[in-house]
């Protein structure tokens, strides 16, 4: 897996952010198991609750094109006029990613294409609630 390429894709996606309220840009690049990359950015609304995060934007784009198996996601974030920083997914995004990720799916938290942290998804959502819990 080319972490640098995926990190760069997340940084590029961040540039497309529509974030006039928080002034915090986020980009995500989601890698399918067959090698295709879907990108997303955060898209805000003045009503706040309709706002969509970058991770979910990328995920929804991929799923809407019949992708269901993912190898990794890279996530980048930065204040509007600032440098990228380590930006972890929110709880809602973690729950949505849990729908399609396994515990060992790679999550790359990107500062630059050379500076990033690598986690497995299970580290970010231990004891996640999934479909298997509905039969309990």
List the structure tokens of 20.
Answer: 């006039």
Contact of 14 with 26, CB cutoff 8 Å:
yes
Catalytic residue among 44, 55, 99, 114: 55
Beta strand 37-41 pairing with 106-110: unpaired
**Beta strands per DSSP E along the chain:** 24-32, 37-41, 70-79, 106-110, 116-120
Q: Look up 55 and say whether it is catalytic.
A: yes
Q: Which positions are catalytic?
A: 55
């Amino acid at each position: 897996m080319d972490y640098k390429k995926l990190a760069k894709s997340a940084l590029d996606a961040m540039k497309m952010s529509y974030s006039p309220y928080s002034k915090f840009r986020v980009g995500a690049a989601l890698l399918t198991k067959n090698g295709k990359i879907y990108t997303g950015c955060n898209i805000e609304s003045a009503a706040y609750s309709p706002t969509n995060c970058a991770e979910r934007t990328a995920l929804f784009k991929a799923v809407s094109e019949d992708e269901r198996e993912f190898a990794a996601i890279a996530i980048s974030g930065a204040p509007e006029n600032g440098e990228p920083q380590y930006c972890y997914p929110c709880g809602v995004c973690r729950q949505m990613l849990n729908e399609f990720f396994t515990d060992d799916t790679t999550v790359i938290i990107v500062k630059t294409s050379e500076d990033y942290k690598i986690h497995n998804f299970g580290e970010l959502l231990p004891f996640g609630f999934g479909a298997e819990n509905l039969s309990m």
